A and B are shown apart, each in its own frame.
Chain A
């Protein structure tokens, strides 16, 4: 994969870096469906100053690759309905689940639901 864009400020792409040093360049718009990444890039975190590079110390390369693939898959299918499910290898399932929980790909919590079942 190409190295990240060197220029400062908000480029069209962001770089995700895994704990074992793999780098993945993805579209900023695609990556920002993750609330965590959005906050990393928007807030006053180190990432926003260091040329849009996000370090994930707890996610390894294999899992992060799948995450990057999901970002592309989601971006590509953003305006479609009957979307075929993305293939997820069962052995990665739990690790990916934890990564997804951490990144919070899409927050769909409904606060009143908890009220509903009181």
Chain B
């Protein structure tokens, strides 16, 4: 209990804020409403016997103060006993309160308050502390100050003046802030891991080793004799941490090796790329991402060497002009089995595809991604590449829908039968004709991707998957196949996009083998369709990853049904599905994108309790 301090000489009175003349006068007489209420509280709880007045006159303490304080000191034994009893009662009540339990948890780690009684008393005294707007003596420096809502309590439970609080804040501040930052960081890391599909908990030993290696990569001279698969994993993690520099590149250039993969070549210069061919002349499979500096100079060097690449995958190499591409394809195209070009901006168009068709007889894989130059004519050239088993196109050039569909359908007609994977992403203008062509010509597909389109119809999808001779697909991505109309966003009179009928047909056809399904933004799949597909008696044993984000009809029940029907599901994405509120996630599975701050809630099992992540 803080001792009642003698009233120090009061400084010249100042009027602060909107205060009536009466309040002002009463204050000058040492009377104020807060004080009165508090006195009453104090008396009721018999906590503080003597309450000093909020302020006296300049020199002498006010006459009212004396008699109020006096009886407290002179209280009889019976009164004292009563007061003590009531105080204990109040403390017991605090101990039982929720606030106290919460406080205990907070302080538990700090070792600030070890004794339960002390803790309860601290809260009790705090509740007795002066309310905002009145004067109080600082606990540390004993100076008089006016209490505000922001005044903080000192170590003994009394209030502190602004200056002392500031000092205390400085002392505690850094530690407290650090702890807060660390907690935030840990939470973000956990969410980041979830997005990467890593289940929270102990990491596997290999990941731990690779991460340690990545931290100490500057001390490493060589990776020694480890398998290509591990080297690839290390390269991937180093790139993710953006540690792939000209110095670290050498770790991955192993003479005699057939594969060179750099997942992030953004920091490498043209000379570094040339060095790849000098150090590893045996390279057959070259994959470079963000290889912006892989330009004409490097191409010229490559053309001058005896390197015979079977796989060339270049991402972001937009400084190689069409002439170099032509030369490369004419001179070295005959060895190529896989050609992948991403993000080439103004280069690599129809002419180059014609060269590919002419000079690359062994080509099995072709991927042209994020391309702005290839037109309908290019698609026609692709139809001459009869050896292809994997085709992936992502074209951004606007063109006529009718011609595009006709060309695409005829291309699928001529090269469709041997295709094992087909990906036509972001070709907005294609119509149902393409779906029909796939239905009729493709019978060996395991992966199909048709995305970002607003012309395919629900009936077209249903027809594609009904009675299709193709075996069940393993990978299917139909995201963003939906109707868009800004004026009437909910109406879909022509049944554009993947809807209920198409979804049911595709699950009936491919459900038994499907491992990956992406139908995000297919807004017109109804709740009934989801409930029918994931009914109690249906199981999809192969399903591992599913994305049903932005399908408006998805709710807790649908998500629960999916977990029931797909026993091997690892990851389910439900971004933007506001019907998903608090669904229990079975242990070992990851639910991403629940639209609340809580995140996913793992259900309890017999052995351990459920938790919230």
Contacts and interface: CB of A to CB of B under 8 A. Distances in A.
Contact of A94 (B213, B367, B421, B515): B213
Interface in A20-70: 67, 70
Interface residues of B, number: 41
Contacts of A90: 212-213, 215-216, 219
Interface string B539-566: 0000011000000000000000000000
Given A85-B211, A106-B204, A118-B421, A112 B226 contact: no
Contact of A115 (B186, B212, B475): B475
Nearest to A108: B204
Given A94-B223, A116-B475, A77 B212 contact: no
Main secondary structure of the interface of B (DSSP, over half): mixed
B9 interface: no
A16 to B, nearest CB: 14
Given A81-B611, A94-B226, A97-B230, A88 B200 contact: no
Contacts of B421: 115, 118
Contacts of A70: 205, 208
A96 B607 contact: no
Nearest to B211: A85
Contacts of B608: 79
B365 A83 contact: no
Contacts, number: 100
Given A81-B200, A83-B201, A105-B206, A115 B474 contact: yes
A88 B224 contact: no
Interface in B200-234: 200-206, 208-213, 215-216, 219, 223-224, 226-227, 229-230
A100 B392 CA distance: 36
A93 B365 contact: no
Interface of B: 186, 190, 200-206, 208-213, 215-216, 219, 223-224, 226-227, 229-230, 365, 367, 390, 392, 421, 446-447, 474-475, 515-516, 544-545, 607-608, 611, 613
Given A83-B203, A90-B215, A94-B213, 17 more contacts: A70-B205, A74-B202, A85-B208, A90-B213, A90-B216, A94-B224, A97-B209, A97-B213, A97-B226, A98-B226, A100-B206, A105-B204, A105-B205, A106-B204, A112-B545, A115-B447, A118-B392
